[in-house]
Amino acid sequence: MLLVNPVMSEARSINVAWDPAADGAPAPGLNDSIGVLVSGGVDSSVALSRLVAAGYRNVSAWYLKIWLEDELTSLGQCPWEEDLEYARSVCKALGVRLNVVSLQIEYYDRVVSYTIEELRAGRTPSPDIFCNERVKFGAFLERVGERVEWVASGHYGRVVPAPGRVVRAPGRGGHAAVSRGGDGDSYRIAHRPGMESGKSERVHLYRACDPVKDQSYFLSHLSQEQLARLLFPLGTLPKRQVRRLADRLQLANRNRPDSQGICFLGKIRYPDFVRHYLGEREGRIVDRERGRELGRHRGFWFYTIGQRQGLGLSGGPWYVTGKDVEENVVFVTHGDRVNDSASDTVRLEELHWIGAPPEDPGERGLSVKLRHGPKRIACSATGFDSAGRRLDELGASHHITLKLEEPDRGVAPGQFGVLYSGERCLGAGRIACGDVAGSPDMVHYSERGARV
């Protein structure tokens, strides 16, 4: 009796060649120029392999060097050389030209400086959101955008043309490629350099099929112009299949573990990075409800709302539930009482909409991610300014208030709330501090005597 290994059977059944039509994604022409962002990791290597296997003839690979070696060498091992070696090995095996682009200055100016300022203000930054918007699909396209028509990556997300809409992606080509929209109809993706995208020329960003690996949270700040040029060959694959494809293809990095944490830190511990820029300042850890001091800390900037680990307190579990920036105090709540500090109301400011906001703020199927991960919370939204304009008329200078169906105890000011309508990512707003009814005070500025 012949025994079949189910793992190998599944691996053989996966189509290596990417079929964008089957994914509902924009379909480049076979001669279009496609720049693939590679990191030396498994995901970007499999994405590159799928494009090559699909027969695209003008594929190039691009490694973005963003490691801040001059700033951070003293903190740990420089990881980019190892990453680049893996990227070279994969590209050589596939016969793809590898280019190295240094974006260290851009990364520091657009991402690292933002991260430091947010920490100094007592907020929790989301650097990976701005890394995608401002560097990987921002500064990179500014630098080499004339050399590639499409940009592909190993991100877990899906770009789909909006039903009935025409999307024009700037590039060198002048022909059109046909794709399929989310409802199965055909749509034309026209490449016409210099043409501006209008409201009728829409793409949608959808969650990846793997809810754990889905990265739509980190892609939520991308613009229509950026998304219209992006290809995500892994969007419909679960992570286990990506790993099995890498093994089947015998990629040099097939056994390499996934990277963790912020992309530019490599093997450096996040607290060491924070200490390098902000130093240490001893302060009190205080029981929020009872007002008694429980311990000492080395700077409020090392802590975020909802944090449990690294407090060094006995008799726990203890959770961070607030910070006083001016007095350098970290407030904690015991696990027995922490649900009392959970919030069912969240205010989002500095709004960014990928496309059109929901026409009905209370529509069914609206949900929010308050942090990266698979969990979404069903919610309704209200947003009106003094002129009475509705949610769909509000711009970046306004805010919306979310009513959560399930209270959350880790609402961290500075992080982003990412909104979804069903599986579609609508956009994001920065979480403001607790200054609406039902929302707890989380960050205080004693000198001002007000919350921010």
Residues 97 and 194 in one domain: yes
Residue 276 is assigned to a structural domain of this protein: no
318: left (phi over 0), alpha (psi -120 to 50) or beta: beta
**How many Å apart are CA 98 and CA 119, to the nearest integer?**
36
Query: Between the CA of residue 277 and those of 73, 141, 204, 375, what are the distances in Å?
Result: 13, 29, 38, 32
Whether residue 112 is contained in a domain is answered as yes
Amino acid at 125: P
Max CA-CA distance within the chain? 78
Both 322 and 242 in one domain: the answer is no
Is 218 contained in some domain? yes
Say yes or no: 71 and 202 in one domain: yes
pLDDT given at position 47: 98
Same domain, 158 and 177: yes
Residues 101 and 20 placed together within one structural domain of the fold:
yes
pLDDT digits (tens, 9 = 90+) for 275-312: 989 999 999 999 998 999 999 999 999 999 999 999 99
Active site (annotated) includes residue 263: yes
Is 153 part of any domain?
A: yes
Residue 174 near residue 191, CB atoms below 8 Å: yes
- Domain co-membership, 121 together with 210: yes
Looking at residue 219, its pLDDT comes to 97
| 301 shares its domain with 398 | no
| Residue 382: pLDDT band with limits 50, 70, 90 | confident
Residues 231 and 100 in one domain: yes
Supply the pLDDT for residue 359. Answer: 65
Residues 156 and 204 in one domain: yes
- Final residue of a domain: which of 306, 331, 356? 331
The reply to whether 265 falls in a domain is no
Q: Of 131, 379, 425, 433, which one is the catalytic site residue?
A: 131
Active site residue 78: no
Kindly indicate the confidence band of residue 46, based on its pLDDT and cuts at 50, 70 and 90.
very high
Q: Model confidence over 251-262: pLDDT tens digits?
A: 999 999 887 656
Number of domains in the chain: 3
Query: pLDDT (tens digit, 9 = 90+) per residue, 302-359?
Result: 999 999 999 999 998 999 999 999 999 999 999 999 888 889 999 999 999 998 776 6
pLDDT recorded at residue 438:
37
- List the CATH number of the domain containing 327: 2.30.30
Q: Which of 91, 209, 263, 379 is catalytic?
A: 263
Q: What is the pTM of this model?
A: 0.83
The residue range of the domain holding 72 is 6-248
Using an 8 Å Cβ cutoff, are 400 and 353 in contact? no
Please check whether residue 105 lies inside any domain of the structure: yes
At 101, give phi and psi (nearest 5°).
-120, 125
Q: Do 392 and 298 fall within a single domain?
A: no
Q: 361: domain CATH number?
A: 2.40.30.10
Asked whether the predicted pLDDT for residue 188 surpasses 60, the reply is: no
Residue 262 domain flag: no
In this predicted structure, the answer to whether residue 436 has a pLDDT above a threshold of 70 is no
Residues 314 and 426 in one domain: no
Same domain, 34 and 71: yes
